[in-house]
């Protein structure tokens, strides 16, 4: 047979630019995690790999602060973790209260509707946390509700909601809770068992500082019971927990092939979770808080105002208003082109109005904070704003000095 499509010309191996990732994700990967990605691949049923899978489950239980047996990493990004929760727990006709205070609450609504459920939407202003009273009112008005779904840490705004209060409202009415912790796991307290949460999903590329493409999940016994009592087969073959767990858990001792797991990505996740264990959860939470306080001190000097009020503000995702008259996209472009520094834009109704600065995982470091403040000040000064980058860096440095004392 004659080959008719000729090989393309001018395409060779591409170098990857070195960036400092301070957007909403992914975050910088620690060199140890990068090294783990480069280990030789082994089979996804190799005994050594199976042993590592068990360790990942143990390490994830620590990260989630849960004893849930059903805890593992879905092969796919946080969005697949989200779909795994909804496709297994929502059936046609089920009523689900979904809290929307940003982009990712909206995606929860899509999931409920696509799987045949009815979404009862509780709306809050973008930048505000979910209002528990609105959820309580919605539960009282809809006594046949099956689940309450909300985003713990809304990546589009940097707002953190009161997960303990929202889960308690759901449990008091006999409902399951579905919780998005994509941006919170590893960066701010996620306390699955203490909250009594039922289905929780996250992502590997944010505060865990791992490669994108894995979604840690954990399910309570109540969630497992709901799954077993389904009236219809789970409509997704790939995300059907009853099938995938024959690979991840193998109750009878023999694992069955489900899919070819992303072996090297799981090497990296294991390494990132070992690093989290060695640092200690409380120390990791404190580190994210420290660098947030330093960044905030610098922003105050630069005159930048936060979108989210202080008591609901995520330390690892900092959304600030763009100063009047400033081309926000031009600022982001200059930061990337001149300083190899990536920050995030606003989404939805916040597009063009805010910047999002991530301090996640390995990106949450003093040198990144100082680079960010200095670079941002230079770009803004070049656009005619009266800002003092040295003073902003000095303000951040005082936070670090005071903390050491």
- Domain of 220 in residue numbering reads as 31-277
Please say which residue of 245, 277, 309 terminates a domain.
Answer: 277
Tell me, yes or no, whether 301 and 186 share the same domain. Answer: no
- Count of C-beta atoms within a 10 Å radius of residue 14: 6
Within-domain flag for 16: no
Please say which residue of 243, 277, 311 terminates a domain.
Answer: 277
First to last CA, the chain: 75
pLDDT digits (tens, 9 = 90+) for 58-103: 999 999 999 999 999 999 999 999 999 999 999 999 999 999 999 9
Within-domain flag for 12: no
Angle, helices 221-228 vs 78-89, to 10°: value is 60
Tell me, yes or no, whether 343 and 269 share the same domain. Answer: no
Show the tokens assigned to 359: 């301090």
Q: Give the domain CATH number at 311.
A: 3.90.1150.10
DSSP annotation of 310: G
pLDDT surpasses 70 at 252: no
Within-domain flag for 140: yes
Show the tokens assigned to 15: 């170098």
In percent, how much of the chain has pLDDT > 90?
Answer: 91
Q: In the predicted model, what is the mean pLDDT of residues 220-237?
A: 95
DSSP annotation of 312: G
pLDDT digits (tens, 9 = 90+) for 40-68: 999 988 889 889 999 999 999 999 999 99
The CA distance from 183 to 78, in Å, is: 10
Cβ atoms of residues 306 and 297 within 8 Å: no
The CA distance from 151 to 158, in Å, is: 11
pTM of the predicted model over 0.75: yes
Within-domain flag for 11: no
Tell me, yes or no, whether 249 and 318 share the same domain. Answer: no
On the CB side of 372, CA atoms within 13 Å amount to 30
Tell me, yes or no, whether 286 and 359 share the same domain. Answer: yes
The CA distance from 60 to 39, in Å, is: 21
Q: Give the domain CATH number at 103.
A: 3.40.640.10
Angle, helices 281-302 vs 366-382, to 10°: value is 20
pLDDT surpasses 70 at 250: no
Cβ neighbors of 99 (< 8 A, separation 6 or more) are: 105, 122, 124, 130, 134, 135, 148, 149, 150, 151, 161, 166
Tell me, yes or no, whether 232 and 103 share the same domain. Answer: yes
Tell me, yes or no, whether 183 and 288 share the same domain. Answer: no
Please say which residue of 237, 255, 277 terminates a domain.
Answer: 277
Average pLDDT, the chain: 96
Tell me, yes or no, whether 149 and 254 share the same domain. Answer: yes
pLDDT value of position 124: 98
pLDDT surpasses 60 at 17: yes
Tell me, yes or no, whether 221 and 338 share the same domain. Answer: no
Largest CA distance in the chain: 75
Q: In degrees rounded to 5, what are phi and psi of residue 145? A: -65, 140
Q: In the predicted model, what is the mean pLDDT of residues 376-395?
A: 97
> At 360, is the pLDDT very low, low, confident or very high (cuts 50, 70, 90)?
very high
pLDDT value of position 251: 58
In percent, how much of the chain has pLDDT > 70?
Answer: 98
Within-domain flag for 9: no
CA angle centred on 170, ends 168 and 174, rounded to 5°: 115
Q: In degrees rounded to 5, what are phi and psi of residue 317? A: -140, 105
How many domains, the chain?
2
Q: In the predicted model, what is the mean pLDDT of residues 148-172?
A: 98
pLDDT surpasses 90 at 26: yes
Tell me, yes or no, whether 262 and 285 share the same domain. Answer: no
Tell me, yes or no, whether 246 and 371 share the same domain. Answer: no
Within-domain flag for 379: yes
Concatenating the DSSP letter of every residue in 251-308 gives TTS-----S---HHHHHHHHHHHHHHHHH-HHHHHHHHHHHHHHHHHHHHHHT--BSS
Cβ neighbors of 81 (< 8 A, separation 6 or more) are: 74, 182, 201, 202, 203, 215, 216, 217
Q: In the predicted model, what is the mean pLDDT of residues 219-232?
A: 95
The CA distance from 385 to 398, in Å, is: 24
H or E, element range at 394 = helix 389-404
Instruction: Kindly give the residue spans of alpha helices, DSSP state H, lying in 17-127.
Output: 31-37, 47-64, 78-89, 103-114
């Amino acid at each position: 047979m004659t080959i008719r499509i000729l090989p393309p010309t001018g395409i060779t191996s591409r170098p990857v630019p070195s960036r400092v990732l301070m957007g909403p994700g992914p975050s910088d990967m620690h060199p140890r995690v990068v090294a783990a990605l480069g280990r030789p691949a082994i089979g996804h049923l190799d005994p050594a790999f199976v042993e590592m899978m068990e360790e990942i489950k143990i390490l994830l239980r620590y990260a989630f602060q849960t004893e849930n047996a059903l805890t593992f990493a879905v092969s796919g990004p946080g969005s697949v973790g989200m779909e795994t929760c909804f496709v297994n727990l929502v059936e046609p006709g089920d009523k689900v209260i979904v809290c929307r205070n940003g982009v990712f609450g909206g995606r929860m609504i899509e999931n409920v509707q696509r799987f045949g459920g009815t979404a009862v939407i509780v709306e809050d202003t973008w930048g505000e946390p979910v209002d528990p009273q609105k959820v309580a009112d919605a539960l009282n008005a809809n006594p046949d509700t099956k689940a309450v779904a909300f985003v713990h840490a809304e990546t589009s705004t940097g707002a953190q909601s009161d997960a303990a209060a929202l889960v308690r409202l759901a449990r008091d009415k006999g409902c399951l809770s579905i919780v998005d912790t994509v941006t919170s796991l590893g960066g701010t307290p996620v306390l699955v068992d203490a909250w009594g949460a039922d289905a929780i999903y996250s992502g590997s590329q944010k505060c865990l500082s791992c490669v994108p493409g894995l979604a840690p999940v954990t399910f309570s016994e109540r969630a497992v019971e709901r799954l077993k009592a389904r009236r219809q087969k789970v409509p997704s073959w790939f995300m059907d927990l009853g099938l995938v767990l024959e690979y991840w858990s193998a109750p009878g001792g023999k694992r069955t092939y489900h899919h070819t797991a992303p072996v090297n990505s799981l090497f990296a996740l294991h390494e990132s979770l070992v690093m989290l264990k060695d640092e200690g959860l409380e120390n990791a939470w404190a580190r994210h808080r420290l660098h947030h306080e330093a960044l905030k001190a610098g922003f105050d000097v630069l005159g930048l105002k936060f979108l989210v009020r202080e008591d609901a503000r995520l330390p690892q995702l900092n959304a600030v208003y763009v100063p009047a008259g400033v081309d926000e996209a031009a600022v982001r472009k200059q930061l990337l082109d001149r300083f190899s520094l990536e920050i995030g834009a606003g989404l939805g109704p916040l597009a063009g109005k805010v910047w999002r600065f991530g301090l996640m995982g390995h990106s949450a470091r003093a040198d990144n904070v100082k680079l960010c403040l200095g670079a941002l000040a230079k770009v803004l000064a070049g656009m005619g704003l009266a800002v003092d980058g040295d003073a902003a860096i000095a303000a951040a440095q005082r936070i670090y000095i005071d903390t050491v004392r």
